[in-house]
Amino acid sequence: MKARDLITEAVSGVGARPARTVLTIAGVVVGIGTLVTTLGVSATAGNQIAGRFDAVTATEITVRVPVPTGRNAPPAVSWSAPDNVARLNGVTAVAAWSRTPEGRDLPVRANAVRDPTRIVDRLLPVLGSTDTVPAATRSTLAAGRFFDAGHVCRRDRVAVLGPLAAEQLGLTRIDNQPAVFVDGKAYTVIGILGPPGRPDQPVPATAVILPWTAADDGLGLGPISTVAITTDLGGAQLIARQAPVALAPNDPSGLEVEAPPDPATLRNGVAGDVSGLLLILGLVSLIVAALGIANVTLVTVMERTAEIGLRRAMGARRHHIAVQFLLESTVIGLLGGIVGASAGILAVVAISVAQQWTPVVDGTLAATSPLVGALVGLVAGLYPAMRAARMQPVDALRGPA
Amino acid sequence: MTDVLELAAVHRVFPADPPVTALAGVDLRVRRGDYLAIVGPSGSGKSTLLNVLGLLDVPSTGSYRFEGAETTTMSDRRRTGLRGSRIGFVFQSFHLLMYRSVLENVMLGGLYTGVPLAERRTRAVAALDRVGLGHRHRFLPSRLSGGERQRVAIARALVGDPALLLCDEPTGNLDSANTASVLDLFDDLRAGGATLLVITHDATVAARADRQVRITDGRISITPAAARADGRIS
């Protein structure tokens, strides 16, 4: 017999029981629909999530300056260099500070009373900084004010405390002009910082912050050790390349730059994570659909025992019967795939409209979904087709039709 | 006159505990142009004999020659081909596909034996004319009377131009008027040279045949009436 004849038989078998066929197709519709929807939504949402990452962390850069090799060696970055960075297009704030070396924090106390029964000295990091720390670390002030260029210029002995440092020293208010004694030297507290805004810059929250001039005078903190930069959205990669040159024109490669990961990489990573999860969901529902087809096709085979017997009596070989049922389930899968892909794309567009997102629809996915549906139908039909082919025509033919 | 089929000492034993012997040494010869009725009560082995004659089942022992070819040693594939091309089946419950038109149902005959679509259509139209349903091509079986449905089934069996028309209780689901019309059709086919083998439990149906054999407990015996009519049973 001709292949065309077999196809005609299969297609008319699909159309024979419209209600059952629609029910069966519904299984594939759910599966393919879920697949296309989840993939589409995840692509769209991935875009969105990555956009939020861009807006916050992808604008923060930290430059670490190595400690000078010798006592008299010139500093790698001079105190005037941060102004060069501030002039770069795309930089919103830049702050630089020197700090007490790691592990050699200075004793700080909040009053001058000598009480031998209590330990009142706290070992805290001390920063000598420019006047732009709140902006460059996205911090607010919980109380008082930060020192300004005038304090720096006049070498005023003033201090601003990080919130954790203030808590440790027991200072909560500054209207009574409290003083802190750092390594025995008095500084007037003029402000307390709020919670840190940059998770990559925890040090200022725990530190006593002095104008760099005053810190160099009294404590010998020395040259810049850290430069914190914030940039406009999307400028981080460019500024990360330009900042070392602006800071240390003689030896830009000596600086260590911590820039956020490339936004494209970040977006792909996030979108990949979400897609992977949702893809599994989609595949699971596709398997459910396949089981549904297998189940219903099996029922159909049982119900059409007499027809199978008749076809066998008419000279159909086992493989004719098997191929007919395989084609039937494949056609059902194909129809489900086409309707499911269309429904999925509509769902992506509808969800995007509701959320005011830009829908991302993969053309290849839409085109291959019907084929995936057909493949699911084919695989699901394997067992029922095998059962149909094995069926003995003998008994079926004598029973009622 | 050539033989269409010849059974010799055919046994069919079904494996069970104890084994069931459905056919116990059946000898039967059908010649071209015969009109033979096989009668017997239920449980007598009629179904098994039908399956063996229709090449749907294979005898446990014995010989079954169809148009001179030994079928018991044939491959399943050749036996299926022979069944599709040389035997036309007519069943008690018609086995029409309810969702296909009369013409499409009749065109199923020859589908699996490699007859091209156009040829099947031509033959189906001719077969429907032969059974007197030339005006019903586009009807669905559900809109036909029982007698008309059985005529469609007979037309389907005739499409492949079979050597043997094997009818299993062809009037079992029909009222007397429809039974009469189907039996008249059998007479016409017989007159046109067809070979008919009708399995029935209905004495009036059997009486229309040229000769009758009775099957009881898996054994063939000549009915007294048939034995008087002629003695051609071997």
A273 vs A156, which has greater pLDDT?
A: A156
pLDDT at residue B161, rounded to an integer: 87
Looking at the fold, whether A87 and A230 belong to one and the same domain comes out as: yes
Q: Give A220-231 pLDDT, tens digit per residue.
A: 888 888 999 988
Residue B9 lies in a domain: no
Sheet containing strand B196-200, strands side by side: B87-90, B164-168, B196-200, B35-39, B211-216, B219-222
Q: Quick check: A313 and B96 CB within 8 A?
A: no
Looking at the fold, whether A232 and A353 belong to one and the same domain comes out as: no
Residue A58 lies in a domain: no
Within 8 A by CB and 6+ apart from B58, the residues are B52, B71, B72, B79
Measured between beta carbons, the chain B residues lying within 8 angstroms of A16 are: 97, 99
Query: Closest by alpha carbon to B229, among B204, B209, B215?
Result: B209
Each as own residue / partner, the long-range contacts of residues A178-181 (CB below 8 Å, 24 or more positions apart, any chain) are A178/A110, A179/A110, A179/A111, A179/A112, A180/A108, A180/A109, A180/A110, A180/A208, A181/A108, A181/A109, A181/A110, A181/A111, A181/A112
pLDDT at residue A52, rounded to an integer: 55
Looking at the fold, whether A250 and A273 belong to one and the same domain comes out as: no
Q: How far is residue A137's CA from residue A200's CA, in Å, rounded to a whole number?
A: 9
Looking at the fold, whether A278 and A386 belong to one and the same domain comes out as: yes
Give percent above pLDDT 90 in chain A.
Answer: 20
pLDDT at residue A401, rounded to an integer: 43
Looking at the fold, whether A271 and A246 belong to one and the same domain comes out as: no
Specify the pairing of strand B219-222 against strand B69-70: unpaired
| Mean pLDDT across B149-166 | 92
Which of B80, B91, B100 is opposite residue A12, by nearest beta carbon? Answer: B100
Measured between beta carbons, the chain A residues lying within 8 angstroms of B83 are: 313, 315
Q: Quick check: B80 and A314 CB within 8 A?
A: no
pLDDT at residue B1, rounded to an integer: 52
pLDDT at residue A31, rounded to an integer: 76
| Mean pLDDT across B24-41 | 91
What is the C-alpha R_g of chain A? 37
Residue B29 lies in a domain: no
Q: Quick check: B95 and A310 CB within 8 A?
A: yes
pLDDT at residue A88 above 60?
yes
Its domain, for residue B199, covers 34-55+76-229
Shortest alpha-carbon distance between residue A388 and chain B (Å): 16
Residue B141 lies in a domain: yes
pLDDT at residue B232, rounded to an integer: 46
Its domain, for residue A334, covers 3-53+265-398
pLDDT at residue B211 above 70?
yes
Looking at the fold, whether A248 and A289 belong to one and the same domain comes out as: no
The sign one gets for the Cα dihedral B51, B53, B57, B59 is: positive
Contact of B147 with chain A, judged by CB distance below 8 Å, is answered with no
Q: How far is residue B211's CA from residue B36's CA, in Å, rounded to a whole number?
A: 5
Residue B22 lies in a domain: no
Which of B50, B85, B111 is opposite residue A5, by nearest beta carbon? Answer: B111
Looking at the fold, whether A246 and A276 belong to one and the same domain comes out as: no
Q: Quick check: B80 and A317 CB within 8 A?
A: yes
Last residue of a domain, one of A254, A276, A299: A254
Last residue of a domain, one of A198, A222, A254: A254
Q: Quick check: A307 and B168 CB within 8 A?
A: no
pLDDT at residue A78, rounded to an integer: 86
Total structural domains within chain B: 1
Other Cβ atoms less than 10 A from the Cβ of B176: the count is 9
The region of weakest confidence among A13-22, B52-61, B139-148, B183-192 is A13-22
Q: Quick check: B96 and A312 CB within 8 A?
A: no
Q: How far is CA A119 from CA A108, A182, A187, in A?
A: 11, 15, 20
Last residue of a domain, one of A230, A254, A278: A254
Q: Quick check: B56 and A397 CB within 8 A?
A: yes
Which of A17, A314, A400 is opposite residue B112, by nearest beta carbon? Answer: A314
pLDDT at residue A55, rounded to an integer: 57
Residue B152 lies in a domain: yes
Residue A81 CB-half CA count within 13 A: 26
Looking at the fold, whether A103 and A164 belong to one and the same domain comes out as: yes
Return mean pLDDT, chain A.
Answer: 83
The region of weakest confidence among A72-86, A261-275, A327-341, B154-168 is A261-275
pLDDT at residue B226 above 60?
no
Residue B64 lies in a domain: no
| Mean pLDDT across A330-334 | 92
Residue A213 CB-half CA count within 13 A: 14
Q: Give A257-306 pLDDT, tens digit per residue.
A: 887 766 666 667 666 777 777 777 778 788 888 888 888 888 888 888 88
Residue A305 lies in a domain: yes
Looking at the fold, whether A272 and A124 belong to one and the same domain comes out as: no
Q: Give B5-26 pLDDT, tens digit per residue.
A: 999 999 999 888 888 898 999 9
Contact of B83 with chain A, judged by CB distance below 8 Å, is answered with yes
Contact of B101 with chain A, judged by CB distance below 8 Å, is answered with no
DSSP assignment letter at A261? P
Shortest alpha-carbon distance between residue A48 and chain B (Å): 52
Contact of A387 with chain B, judged by CB distance below 8 Å, is answered with no
Looking at the fold, whether A270 and A344 belong to one and the same domain comes out as: yes
pLDDT at residue B87 above 60?
yes
| Mean pLDDT across B64-84 | 91
Query: Closest by alpha carbon to B141, among B165, B108, B118?
Result: B108
Per the omega criterion (within 30 degrees of 0), is the bond before B18 cis?
A: yes
Residue B15 lies in a domain: no
Helix axes A363-390, A18-56, angle to 10 degrees: 150
Per the DSSP assignment, residues forming a β-bridge with A277 are none
The region of weakest confidence among A16-20, A292-296, B21-25, B45-49 is A16-20
Q: Quick check: A398 and B89 CB within 8 A?
A: no
A173 vs A119, which has greater pLDDT?
A: A173
Which of B57, B93, B112 is opposite residue A320, by nearest beta carbon? Answer: B112
Looking at the fold, whether A136 and A206 belong to one and the same domain comes out as: yes
pLDDT at residue B144, rounded to an integer: 92
Measured between beta carbons, the chain A residues lying within 8 angstroms of B81 are: 315
CATH code (residue B211)? 3.40.50.300
Query: If pLDDT is split at 50, 70 and 90, which confidence band does A71 have?
Result: low
Q: Quick check: B116 and A312 CB within 8 A?
A: no
Give percent above pLDDT 90 in chain B.
Answer: 54
Looking at the fold, whether A280 and A324 belong to one and the same domain comes out as: yes
Total structural domains within chain A: 2
Residue B118 lies in a domain: yes
Residue A203 CB-half CA count within 13 A: 22
For B75, name the nearest residue in chain A, comparing CA atoms only.
A317
Given a contact cutoff of 8 angstroms between Cβ atoms, the answer to whether A274 and A45 are in contact is: yes
pLDDT at residue B63 above 90?
yes
For B49, name the nearest residue in chain A, comparing CA atoms only.
A394
pLDDT at residue B233, rounded to an integer: 45
